[in-house]
Amino acid sequence: MSVTRERQLVETFVEVADTLVDDFDVIDFLLTLAGRCVQLLDVDAAGITLVDQRGHLHAAAASTESARLVELFELQNDAGPCIDCCRSGSPVVNADLAANAQRWPRFAEAARDSGFVAVHALPLRLRETVIGALNLFSAQSRVLTEDDIRAGQALADVATIGILAQRGLHQAELLAAQLQSALNSRIVIEQAKGVLAERRQISVDEAFTLLRDHARQHNVRLSDVARDVAEGAAASGPWQV
């Protein structure tokens, strides 16, 4: 692993650690981590899926809209690298989509249509507990090295620790509540992105950047800003066309 990437990895861990305060914003935490994965692992997009209290997977965060849509397609069809990773608790790496067309036919087609040629999935796992997966998407046929995989798994482990940080592993009902709260926040964020994109006539990715920048500049939770926009309470001021 190069000195430069070692430094970037350390800086990422420091940045993530700074977010782990009381009542931290889980979705913003995961979005930050997804963005850092793209920078550190030389992939084109990253996403994180979480398991809810019923054992169902949900798309919780993604670095781009195209990655989010591919993840949603995968979850709706119950087939793909993320599904396999979460069920087995083992990584799925360097999965060339052309070579895996028979293994995940519909997912492979959807991912290729979105511009991706290879995918990887790393488990969010602490001991025997799997709470989701970190998904990586590549637009070029670049193989992840052992160093890449170790770095990626380290980031997945950080995500796991962050989600479990304020909850004891033996307090299952509290863990389920936190995960469900994060997933509910994600729904509101997606609604706000659509409202703002239509209102401003911009892309969904650009709308999300506006929401996140506003939340950080005003030191408020991303989900609270999104709720105001989605419910029309923020139609004026910075959100006015």
In a shared domain, residues 104 and 196: no
Structure tokens at 140: 């070029």
Cross-strand pairs, 59? 49
Residues near 10 by beta carbon (within 8 Å), at least 6 away in sequence: none
Sign of CA dihedral 213, 217, 223, 229: negative
Using DSSP's 3-state secondary structure scheme, residue 118 falls into: strand
In a shared domain, residues 113 and 199: no
Percent of the chain at pLDDT exceeding 90: 35
Reported as a single tens digit per residue, the pLDDT across 100-141 is: 999 999 999 999 999 999 999 999 988 888 989 999 999 998
Distance CA 17, CA 19 (A): 5
State the average pLDDT over residues 160-179: 60
Provide the domain limits for residue 108.
Answer: 3-166
In a shared domain, residues 222 and 108: no
Sheet containing strand 45-51, strands side by side: 57-62, 45-51, 129-138, 118-126, 92-96
In a shared domain, residues 48 and 161: yes
In a shared domain, residues 144 and 223: no
* Terminal-to-terminal C-alpha distance of the chain: 47
**Is residue 12 one of the residues assigned to a domain?**
yes
Q: What is the CATH number of the domain that holds 32?
A: 3.30.450.40
| Tally of domains within the chain | 2
**Is residue 22 one of the residues assigned to a domain?**
yes
Long-range contacts of 153-158 (CB under 8 A, 24+ apart): 153/91, 153/122, 154/9, 155/12, 155/33, 155/36, 155/37, 155/40, 155/122, 156/122, 156/123, 156/124, 156/125, 157/124, 157/125, 157/126, 158/12, 158/13, 158/16, 158/33
In a shared domain, residues 155 and 199: no
Distance CA 51, CA 36 (A): 22
Reported as a single tens digit per residue, the pLDDT across 40-85 is: 888 999 999 988 777 888 888 899 999 999 999 999 999 999 999 9
In a shared domain, residues 134 and 203: no
Q: What is the reported pTM?
A: 0.68
In a shared domain, residues 57 and 103: yes
Window from 115-124, 166-175, 193-202, 224-233 with minimum mean pLDDT: 166-175
